[in-house]
Chain A
């Protein structure tokens, strides 16, 4: 399909370095120091001197501005810097923007990262909601739809009603990611397997979602380095090509409480991103050997499976049955444990795990993982990446 569209950056830019700090709760380092550690590790991973970095890409929610990162790490003159909004929807877009900047010559060595200290309950954003609301939240929060989990639960209930999706099917998501985490010693839930019985008996958070439908709250940081594919072939790690990427802000969207569009269970953010993503790619969903799907809440994984075309609308519940997403499944997903069982870094650890899978160096390596789809959050303006091996 790529013949019908102008493809500027396909396979022309590669992720060459990945870095990640310890992930966990109560880490002593500041968010800035965590960011610096992750970026330094990513540069060490590819053997590029920090003074060569001339591009920076991050989230608008990133507290540490480019200037702090640049002057601490001794970066050179920065000629491209960009931030992407909407929290967990922006992760893949930070890498996409970096790749576009390298492909168009706006910079040569780009770094994207996320640092986050959110393990402490006092940092919960929803708990800081002002009493008088003058923005879009005034139409949803006052009746008691207070938290992100409530907003997602509303759409999941509708999905269940419309398509017959069940809690047992939703449990497949949580159980699969927990099973992957058992192979990752760095995962928060390593050594703590989850059973269907425990899932079904867990306490409610916002019915129909229970405790295990929610991601973790974590501290940590992760970073990636991108350069041209040509240069990547001279660096120590196997190049991971940015094959395609897309952002998606669907028409008549409302952030998180996405109930006001024409058909909320089928016109979510992935429906805006997916057509461009696949049109730019030489691969199709059936070619994806491993996936990293944004999982702040388990329903988002079902929405992404439908939105990116792994199954039809309303069919994700049936698609995940029988361990599809788990170790050895038909579509191993969130292979380091993801946001629900490894750590929640607004999805950036999904990107670093996607790179490791395509390199062939993941702790839970999927055989022949030459194509990986990475997605960012549903129910917010989103983004996605297709990563591919250089062979």
Chain B
């Protein structure tokens, strides 16, 4: 995963709603959005709480412990920046302390390792992982390593 490659995809940092999530990643914290009135934790982030229909929310730290909910192994054809790592796995993880939160991400051998650094044949649904962070093109993203 070359940071210099301009063709990797990234989330915007320009959305005031989601910026706290990315600022948390930059500090090494995995944050989830919790609405104040209901205590409801949602994913993905959004402006309104579907439970209380109110807007006030805060970003609270998660432990970063999770389990693998499902995974795929992507083979070509792919976007050029990703094709050079194919086949590579992509996982959905379920946060241990917030089971309603399932995040799409990469399982890697080390925080800065390539997206193909874990042999897909060894991945199993239900195995525990924990969050790590790595910078890509100026944005720090959560990734997952075996715990």
Interface residues of A (CB under 8 A from B): 121, 127, 129-134, 136, 138-147, 150, 153-155, 157-158, 161, 203-208, 252, 254, 257, 259-260, 262
Contacts of B10 in A (CB 8 A): 131-133, 138, 142
Q: Are A254 and B72 in contact (CB under 8 A)?
A: no
Specify which of B15, B85, B90 is in contact with A145 (CB 8 Å cutoff).
B90
CA of A328 to CA of B72, assembled, Å: 34
Residue of B7, B75, B125 with most partner-chain A CB within 10 A: B75
Specify which of A139, A144, A158, A252 is in contact with B74 (CB 8 Å cutoff).
A144
Would you list which residues of chain B between 1 and 48 have a CB under 8 Å from chain A?
A: 6-12, 14-15, 18, 43-44
Contacts of A141 in B (CB 8 A): 9
Q: Are A260 and B43 in contact (CB under 8 A)?
A: yes
Nearest CB in chain A to that of B139: its residue: A142
Q: Are A133 and B69 in contact (CB under 8 A)?
A: no
Q: Are A142 and B11 in contact (CB under 8 A)?
A: yes
B87 contacts A by Cβ under 8 Å: yes
Q: Closest CB of chain B to A34's CB: distance in Å?
A: 26
Chain B: interface size category: 35 or more
Q: Are B73 and A133 in contact (CB under 8 A)?
A: no
Q: Are B44 and A136 in contact (CB under 8 A)?
A: yes
Nearest 9 pairs of A and B residues by beta carbon: A138-B11, A207-B73, A158-B70, A134-B12, A153-B72, A204-B75, A139-B44, A142-B9, A140-B104
CA of A132 to CA of B100, assembled, Å: 26
CA of A200 to CA of B115, assembled, Å: 26
Q: Are B75 and A134 in contact (CB under 8 A)?
A: no
B78 contacts A by Cβ under 8 Å: yes
Q: Are A206 and B106 in contact (CB under 8 A)?
A: no
Taking A133-B9, A142-B141 as given, write out 9 further A-B residue pairs in contact, using a Cβ cutoff of 8 Å, ordered by the A residue number: A133-B12, A134-B11, A143-B90, A144-B88, A146-B79, A154-B90, A158-B70, A259-B69, A259-B102
A-B contact count (CB 8 A): 111
Contacts of A259 in B (CB 8 A): 69-70, 92, 102, 104
CA of A132 to CA of B75, assembled, Å: 23
CA of A326 to CA of B115, assembled, Å: 40
Specify which of A145, A153, A262 is in contact with B104 (CB 8 Å cutoff).
A145
Residue of B7, B72, B104 with most partner-chain A CB within 10 A: B72
Q: Are B104 and A207 in contact (CB under 8 A)?
A: no
Contacts of A136 in B (CB 8 A): 44
Q: Closest CB of chain B to A272's CB: distance in Å?
A: 16
CA of A222 to CA of B15, assembled, Å: 41
CA of A203 to CA of B86, assembled, Å: 13
Nearest CB in chain A to that of B44: its residue: A139
Specify which of B12, B43, B115 is in contact with A143 (CB 8 Å cutoff).
B115
Contacts of A260 in B (CB 8 A): 43-44, 102
Q: Are B105 and A207 in contact (CB under 8 A)?
A: no
Q: Are A139 and B104 in contact (CB under 8 A)?
A: yes
Given contacts A129-B79, A133-B10, A145-B104, contact A158 B125 (CB under 8 A): yes
